[in-house]
């Protein structure tokens, strides 16, 4: 870049008729080394070609997620730039896919059709990736069905899209159809589909894919192995993840990080830190994800001193902390119930705290009954995210914990006036290759009657061993009986009941939930694991809980 800037200075001193062509060549080099510099060069070119715009778009795509390619495309459209091509459309669609920008993606799709590029395979594949990322599989399938030719990338995108939303049988069927069509899956296909299984918690399909890789002799390279480690860890089989990891002949920073993060989300702090020590011994340079995993492990394990040590070490090594790193440290202080230290840490952050950090502080204020400070924090949170339902639910819970029903009702009324609706609890469970989804209080399934029978039996047995319902977690100002009934309609209980109904006693019940598990469900699930002699693994938004014989792997610290 030093030499490049010297050349740039030389160009500026040259006659203008040399500038446009040479600046465009300069931009090609700069785009993959310093994208902001490249963007500045683009703005200096009098009449930049579409190639120059595409180069800068591609440069942004090589960095962290950025809306810049979308903004650049909007600028091109507003200027009625006549020469956008398939590369332009593919790049902007990829940006929409990375950011899960569904509405913007749909607008680009319209432009694809009107500009006559709707039949281009690269553009069609980009559209499928977008719809798969946004979990709009039917729209993705429509694009897929209209493709006259399908390469391995197109098949991968469609199969991965089905797996991601839990339509495992459909994904498996399409995977076989791909082979019948003479298209052999490659390493990229396997990484795509395995990663989708990780997101959906589809362990059975993930295991099948692992067996398929071994059987077909597909190269189990670094990317595939890392995807398998990540999949097993996120699907609750941390032992299998470690087995794959240990068998890897070569491990890069991404592989080490996947294993460390896997241990961290399972609450295995000592294993995570030991793996990090082994990574350092192997002379592999940690990346920002590695350190997120290390700090997260300390937070989940309640290891305050160790967390501080790793934080100091990170700063001394010259690594600039990201928002995620700051969030991990705040989480660490909050889990250790160090409210004043957490608050001081946040006030001294060189970057503005994000809503996640303020929510962590508000949760701790709720636990410690620090209502005055909690209201100050809540004000910051609502200023940042005035339309996020999660903030209002948390604040309602905050006031309910102090039995301040007047303020709680005021928050609920504010939600209603602003048209904000709470995200319902949703849990899923994979049975015989299909992911079944349950929403809180939803009794529309055909097996609803049988599920009710199971839940009534479970309730009777759990209460029989002395369980006291944690009705404080119910935010309605209603009677205790109604609160207790509401607890038994939580989505994870419906999913666990379905697992008891549909699987044999030797089968592990694995549930994935979109929200954090409540205190009462946590206690009830511990009791179920003991009373029914069942191992139950629940992945909530925070971490994994492994329930065996009445004990949870989190040691009631989550």
In a domain, 72, yes or no: no
pLDDT of residue 10: 80
> Does the residue 26 lie in any domain?
no
pLDDT of residue 474: 62
Q: What is the pLDDT of residues 452-484, one digit of tens each?
A: 999 999 999 999 999 888 766 665 555 667 778
DSSP secondary-structure letter at 63?
S
- Choosing from 216, 250, 284, the residue where a domain stops is 250
Cα-based distances in Å from 512 to 78, 334, 438, 519, 529: 44, 25, 10, 16, 17
The two tokens of residue 108 are: 């680009």
- Residue 75 domain-assigned (yes or no): no
- Residues of the chain whose pLDDT is less than 70? 15-19, 64, 81-83, 471-480
pLDDT digits over 344-356, tens only? 999 999 999 999 9
Which of 250, 274, 299 marks a domain boundary?
A: 250
- Measured from the Cβ of residue 180, the count of other Cβ atoms closer than 10 Å reads 7
Indicate the pTM of the whole model. 0.75
pLDDT value for 477: 55
**Comparing C-alpha atoms, which of 113, 121, 115, 114 is closest to residue 144?**
121
Domain membership of residue 366 (yes or no) is no
- The full 3-state SS of 460-529, as one line of letters, equals HHHHHCCCCCCHHHCCCCCCHHHHHHHHCCCHHHHHHHHHHHHCCCCCCEEEEECCCCCHHHHHHHHHHH
State the DSSP H helix or E strand holding residue 547, giving kind and residue range, or none if neither.
Answer: strand 544-548
CA–CA gap between residue 76 and residue 88 (Å, rounded) = 10
How many structural domains compose the chain?
2
User: Is the residue at 118 inside a domain?
Assistant: no
Mutual angle of helices 168-180 and 203-216, in 10-degree steps: 20
> Which of 250, 275, 303 is a domain's end point?
250
Residue 479 confidence (pLDDT): 62
Q: How many CB atoms lie within 10 A of CB 304?
A: 17
Tokens of 22: 């040479």
Give the sheet arrangement for strand 551-552, strand by strand: 434-439, 426-431, 509-513, 536-539, 544-548, 551-552
How confident is the model at residue 64, as a pLDDT?
66
Burial class (CB within 10 angstroms; exposed 0-12, middle 13-18, buried 19+) of 410: middle
User: Does some domain include residue 537?
Assistant: yes
Contact assessment for residue 141 and residue 173, using Cβ atoms and an 8 Å cutoff: no
120 inside domain: no
Residue 489 belongs to a domain: yes
Q: Which domain holds residue 522?
A: 427-552
Q: What is the DSSP string of 269-297?
A: HHHHHHHHHHHHHTTPPP-HHHHHHHHHH
């Amino acid at each position: 870049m030093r030499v490049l800037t010297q050349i740039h200075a030389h160009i500026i001193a040259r006659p203008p008729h040399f500038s446009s062509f040479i600046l465009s060549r300069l931009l090609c080099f700069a785009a993959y080394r310093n994208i902001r510099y490249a963007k500045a060069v683009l703005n200096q070119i009098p009449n930049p070609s579409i190639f120059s715009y595409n180069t800068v778009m591609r440069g942004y795509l090589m960095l962290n997620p950025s809306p810049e390619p979308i903004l650049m495309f909007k600028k091109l459209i507003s200027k009625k730039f006549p020469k956008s091509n398939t590369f332009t459309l593919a790049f902007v669609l990829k940006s929409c896919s990375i950011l899960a920008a569904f509405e913007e993606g749909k607008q680009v799709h319209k432009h694809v059709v009107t500009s006559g590029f709707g039949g281009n395979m690269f553009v069609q594949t980009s559209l499928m990736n977008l719809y798969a990322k946004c979990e709009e599989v039917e729209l993705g399938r429509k694009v897929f069905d209209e493709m006259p030719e399908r390469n391995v990338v197109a098949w991968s995108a469609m199969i991965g899209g089905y797996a991601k939303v839990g339509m495992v049988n459909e994904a498996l069927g399409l995977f076989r159809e791909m082979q019948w069509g003479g298209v052999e899956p490659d390493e990229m296909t396997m990484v795509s589909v395995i990663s989708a299984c990780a997101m959906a918690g589809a362990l059975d399909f993930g295991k099948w894919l692992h067996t398929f890789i071994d059987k077909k002799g597909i190269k189990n390279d670094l990317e595939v192995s890392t995807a398998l480690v990540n999949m097993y860890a996120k699907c609750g089989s941390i032992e299998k993840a470690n087995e794959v990891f240990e068998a890897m002949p070569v491990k890069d920073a991404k592989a080490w990080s996947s294993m460390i993060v896997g241990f961290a989300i399972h609450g295995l702090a000592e294993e995570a830190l030991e793996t990090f020590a082994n990574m350092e011994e192997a002379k592999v340079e940690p990346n920002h994800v590695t350190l997120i995993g290390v700090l997260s492990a300390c937070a989940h394990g309640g290891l305050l001193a160790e967390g501080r040590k790793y934080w100091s070490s990170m700063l001394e090594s010259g690594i600039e902390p990201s928002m995620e790193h700051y969030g991990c440290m705040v989480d660490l202080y909050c889990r250790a119930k160090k409210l004043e230290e957490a608050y001081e840490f946040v006030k001294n952050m060189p970057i503005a705290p994000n809503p996640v950090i303020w929510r962590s502080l508000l949760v701790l204020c709720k636990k410690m009954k620090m209502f005055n400070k909690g209201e100050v924090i809540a004000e910051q949170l609502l200023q940042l995210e005035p339309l996020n339902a999660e903030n209002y639910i948390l604040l309602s819970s905050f006031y309910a914990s102090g039995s301040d029903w007047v303020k709680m009702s005021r928050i609920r009324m504010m939600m209603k006036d602003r048209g904000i609706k709470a995200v319902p609890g949703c849990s899923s469970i994979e049975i015989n290759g299909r992911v079944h989804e349950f929403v809180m209080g939803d009794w529309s399934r055909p097996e609803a009657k049988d599920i009710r029978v199971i839940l009534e039996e479970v309730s009777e047995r759990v209460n029989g061993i002395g369980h006291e319902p944690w009705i404080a977690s119910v935010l309605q100002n209603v009677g205790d009986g109604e609160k207790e009934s509401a607890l038994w309609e939580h989505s994870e209980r419906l999913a666990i009941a379905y697992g008891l109904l549909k699987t044999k006693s030797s089968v592990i019940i694995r549930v994935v939930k979109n929200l954090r598990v409540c205190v009462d469900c946590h206690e009830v699930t511990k009791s179920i694991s003991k009373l029914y002699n069942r191992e139950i693994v629940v992945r909530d938004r925070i971490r994994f809980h492994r329930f065996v014989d009445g004990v949870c792997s989190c040691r009631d610290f989550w």
